[in-house]
Structure 1
Amino acid sequence: MNAPQRVGRRAALAAAVTAVVLLPATSAAAHVSVDRVEPRDDGTSAVTFVFDHGCDGAPTDAVQVTMPEGVEALAAVAPDGWTVDVTPDQVRWAGEPVADGEVTELTVDVRMVGTAGQSFVFPAVQECTSGDSYDWADTDGSGAHPAPMLVATSSMLSAPPAPAAPPSVPMGPLVAALAVASVGAGVGGGWAASRHRRRL
């Protein structure tokens, strides 16, 4: 094989690899998805969701994301012109319509408890000005409406709360009570012995 042929084959191979790498990203852009997760030093993480389409061309005016078990929403950032309502179990963004094709990011601060390698699924509802909505809730990534999903790493996870310690018993009163009981037993024993001697 001569040099031009080798160069041609390398270029074709590089193009094929690039296509394979870009295919998941292109597919992910077709729905609401997890774009990135940024762990923090305090055991929390910022999870950013992204979408770039409306409902059959109609602009998006609200997105609601439900937290899975093991994930608690703490706070969220709203895009310009939008407001956000946060509860531990759910986050809802709403506001000025976002045109179809415009990339929009929605970031929420969360606390995740679980194990490294565990998948967390975030069902999402996208609402549009047309009155239509998309329910992104399929847990199978190949489904028609795949839910946003992430696989946790150890850096994303917060340590579970330590179990509550059993209530401690104050030692002072206990020692005092034992001392009184001991003294009482001694006095009682001495009194009984004294009575026995007097009878003799």
Structure 2
Amino acid sequence: MSKRLAVVGTATLGVTAAIVLGTAGVASAHVSATATSTAANSYTTATFSVPHGCDGSPTTKIEFQVPESVIEVTPTVNPNWTITKATAPYTSPPASADDESAEDAGERVTSVTYTAKTPLPADERDTFALSFSLPDGKPGDLVEFPALQTCEKGSVEWNQEQKAGEAEPEHPAPSITLTAAGATDDDGDP
């Protein structure tokens, strides 16, 4: 009797492990982001992971769209990839209120593209790091970096918005969830 329970328990444990490992594989199949800091208004380095190619095809390029709420971004060099940045004139409500012209307002990075020197095999992963200041916001707000993964054959747009309380979309945009802003010197007693 106890031998039979041990066999059934072992089989149940094996099935449970297979389900958990299978789910972990699916969850890690997305282009994802992790950050050194998630506090609103803090400086962070976000590391984006590209875990696979497009339906078995090697990755040749990955382009990250920079949200308007992120003013400056600095890409980290990856020796296997070349980096290009697209920019656009930056104008903010405070700039126009001060009667600054568009030329005086400067430019902001709108996207960062990493192009492979040699295509990344579909069964290998790589990471890409961007440094920037997180925007102001409430805890739980998402800062999304839609990405376009281009492969030798095909492409995948990682651009679907993730909504709280809803199932994860098929191709979610890599994102960082803001936490409460850290205390500053101005928050202390006079």
Report the TM-score range of the alignment, normalised by the length of the smaller protein.
0.5 to 0.7
Whether contact under 8 Å (1:73, 1:89) holds in the other structure is: no
Residue 28 of structure 1 and its aligned partner are, at CA, apart by: 3.2
- What amino acid maps onto 1:142 in structure 2? E
2:143 corresponds, among 100, 108, 120, to: 120
Alpha carbons 1:67, 1:73 under 8 Å: kept = no
Q: 1:109 aligns with which of 102, 110, 131?
A: 131
Mapped pair 1:146 → 2:145: no
Q: Which residue of 1 aligns with 2:35?
A: 37
Q: TM-score, normalised by structure 2?
A: 0.64
- After the TM superposition, list the runs of 4 or more consecutive aligned residues in structure 1 that deviate by more than 6 angstroms: none
Structure with greater helix share of residues: 1
Q: Check 1:60–1:107 CA distance in 2 against 1; reply closer, same or farther (3 A cut).
A: same
Q: Distance in 2 between matches of 1:143 and 1:119?
A: 15
Aligned partner of 2:101 in structure 1 is none
Q: Answer whether contact 1:73 1:90 (CA < 8 A) is retained.
A: no
Q: Deviations over 1:75-115 (max 9, x none)?
A: 11232221112352221111221001111101101211122
Structure 2 vs 1, CA of residues 14 and 57 (structure 1 numbering), >3 Å: closer, same or farther?
A: closer
Which of residues 110, 121, 125 in structure 2 aligns to 1:89?
110
Please tell me the residue identity of whatever aligns with 2:150: E
Q: Secondary structure at the match of 1:71?
A: coil
Identity %: 28
- The structure showing larger relative contact order (alpha-carbon pairs under 8 Å, at least 6 residues apart) is 2
Q: Could you tell me how far apart the structure 2 residues matched to 1:95 and 1:158 are?
A: 41
1:37–1:23 CA distance, 2 compared to 1 (3 A): farther
* Structure 1: 5+ residue stretches without partners: 160-200
Question: Tell me, what secondary structure is at the counterpart of 2:35?
Answer: strand
Contact 1:55 1:128 in 2 (8 A): yes
SS in 2 for 1:72: coil
Query: Which residue of structure 2 aligns with residue 53 of structure 1?
Result: 52
Instruction: Quickly say closer, same or farther: Cα 1:19–1:63, change in 2 above 3 A.
Output: same
Distance, in Å, in 1 between the alignment partners of 2:116 and 2:47 is 18
**Which ranges of structure 2 fall in alignment gaps of 5 or more residues?**
88-108, 185-190
